[in-house]
Amino acid sequence: MATKVLLVTLDPSVREHFGNVLAESDSFEIVGVAPDGASARTILEREAEVAVVVVDEGAEAGNGHGVARSIAVTAPLVGVVMLAPMADPGSLARAMDVGARSVIAHGAGLEEVVARLESVATWSSAARATIGSERSATRAGEVLVVAGAKGGVGTSTLALLLAHATAQRQSVTAVDFDLGSGDLAAFAGVSTRRSVVDLAEVAGEITGRMLRETSYDLSGGVRLLPAPAEGERGEEMSGRAARAVVGGLRYEADLAVVDVGSHLDDARASVIEFADRALLVVNPDLPALRAARRTLAQWERLAIRRPESVQLVLNRRTPRDEVTRQLAERIVERPVAFTIPDGGAAFESAMNTATLLEAQTTVHRAVAEVVARPAAQVEQSEAGETTPQGRSSSAGGKRGRGRRSRAGSGERGQAALEFPVVIALTLALFLICAQGLAWASGLMVARAAAQEGARTVGIAESYSPSVAQQARDDVRERLPEGLRSSAVVDVSHDAVNVRVRSATVIPGLRFSASSSADVFEER
């Protein structure tokens, strides 16, 4: 049976030459010609028997190496061969960096082409035979990345709970790629001696057996691939090794949940780029939301992941939050996929006692509801929301197209509860301001009246009871008619004090304003 080959190129001359060469061979058969990486991945999904993909360096406007890298990650059991102008050591080194296994010159003859393809096809057959007994190559699992906008937003706990809740329905591996300070093992209450960094030395030969021997069984059916206990060992993980780990995880479990923390390096950038889906975790506070916006902008600048392929998770939500879901969406400029409530004292106790997987809190129930909800109920448009059940491609992701009804009704219910509180606070603030204005008006009236009385005493030849009475009369005459009867006027030879009752705006309360004026002799 002829080995199936897929050619990726836009150059008609390359397509014609390569097709003519393989037409003379009985060992290989071209099953299709793809113009770009997306088309190539579509053909690979349809043609499961393809063993070798030949990628022209000029594909996708000169981005052939990027195409080869994406195919090597999404289909690690398929051999990738680069077509280059010259098969020199430099071309071979560049091809190996993106996961290709050989290089063929554009003008190569039948003998050289067949020799190169046979070598790669043999490797592909051996790899499929090794893994095929455990998992069919057409049933690759998904890789879900969970990243934090900044430290302390709950990225690790959310990743572990997502893995635990999903393990009820399918096989799940939780991977701690926060290599400098990973805490998944501590939260799960397990002691570890092996870590994901141990796979860096065998990056080109990772098998399912290696992954199983490096990981640990957790309660609930989750396998944990932990971060190293010594944070400095994280530097051993290169971008190439990280891509190999991601490729191996696809065939080890139905779902791999990868915690990449909040910092970016070459290894974590590779994981984020080639994951099927990405969640960005934030808290309902402005520092976290601003950090999320910067993170998305950085991923886009570095061509790691487009913002529209990232799902935003609002973690530790409470009804008392000043930052609402709508405000968070406006700041980050991304819709919130789903919200997770604050767990309170019960959740904090589970974290402190390393019983996170055994506890049952509001956070556990919320995560379980998100995982259990069918994908059809959570897909949405750009203006809506999604859950982790929606799927995106490694190049950018697919966005969901519907609004989650249960979450929507929950938000509407929360808004209905908050509305009367907002109205009451607004009314109280209005009354306080109005009462302040009324008191200030009374104070101004009392001061003007006191100055009038002080002037009466000051122009008199001498102070006497009759002068004091005249001053009182002048004060009351200066006051508005409604305040005269209740005003209290105190006159002495050196000062006049006036106290009046202020208008009452707040029912049940009584306020007064008083002012005094010194007497200056004008006689």
CB distance 340 to 307 below 8 Å: no
In this predicted structure, what is the pLDDT of residue 130? 66
| pLDDT band at residue 383 using 50, 70 and 90 as cut-offs | very low
Residue 444 has pLDDT above 90, yes or no: no
> How many whole angstroms separate alpha carbon 68 and alpha carbon 47?
17
Question: 76 or 296: whose pLDDT is higher?
Answer: 296
pLDDT (average), residues 89-104? 89
- SS3 helix, strand, coil % of the chain, rounded to 5? 50, 20, 35
Burial of 210-229, coded b for 16+ CB within 10 Å and e otherwise, reads bbeebbbebeeebbbbbbbe
**What pLDDT does residue 394 have?**
37
| Closest to 319 (Cα-Cα) out of 407, 405, 386, 411 | 411
DSSP state of 56: E
The number of beta carbons lying within 10 Å of the beta carbon of residue 14 is 20
Residue tagged 């080869």 (tokens): 68
| Closest C-alpha among 380, 383, 384, 372 to residue 398 | 380
- Global pTM reads 0.52
pLDDT band at residue 415 under the 50/70/90 scheme: low
pLDDT interval class at 160 (50, 70, 90): very high
Nearest to 283 by CA among 335, 340, 348: 340
Edge to edge, what strands does the sheet with 102-105 contain?
Answer: 28-34, 3-8, 50-56, 79-84, 102-105
Query: What pLDDT does 330 receive?
Result: 93
State the Cα–Cα distance between residues 442 and 487, nearest whole angstrom: 11
Residues with Cβ within 8 Å of residue 486, at least 6 apart in sequence: 500, 501
**Please, are residues 335 and 385 in contact by the beta-carbon 8 Å criterion?**
yes
When pLDDT is cut at 50, 70 and 90, the band that residue 329 belongs to is: very high
Q: Which of 66-70, 139-143, 155-159, 410-414 reaches the highest mean pLDDT?
A: 155-159
In this prediction, residue 284 carries a pLDDT of 94
Beta bridge partners of 339: 314
Q: In this model, does residue 87 exceed pLDDT 60?
A: yes
User: What pLDDT digit, counting tens, does each position of 187-236 carry?
Assistant: 988 888 899 999 888 776 777 788 888 899 998 889 999 999 898 988 88
Task: Check residue 492 and give its pLDDT.
Answer: 85
Which of 28-32, 285-289, 385-389, 413-417 has the highest average model confidence (pLDDT)? 285-289
Most confident residue range from 69-73, 136-140, 324-328? 324-328
Residues 231-264 have pLDDT tens digits of: 898 888 988 888 888 888 888 888 999 999 999 9
Query: What is the pLDDT, as a whole number, of residue 204?
Result: 66
pLDDT, tens only, 114-157 = 888 988 888 888 777 666 544 444 456 899 999 999 999 999 99
Query: Mean pLDDT across the stretch 433-438?
Result: 80
Could you tell me what percent of the chain has a pLDDT over 90? 29
pLDDT at 501: 81
Question: What is the C-alpha to C-alpha distance for residues 120 and 88, in angstroms, rounded to an integer?
Answer: 18
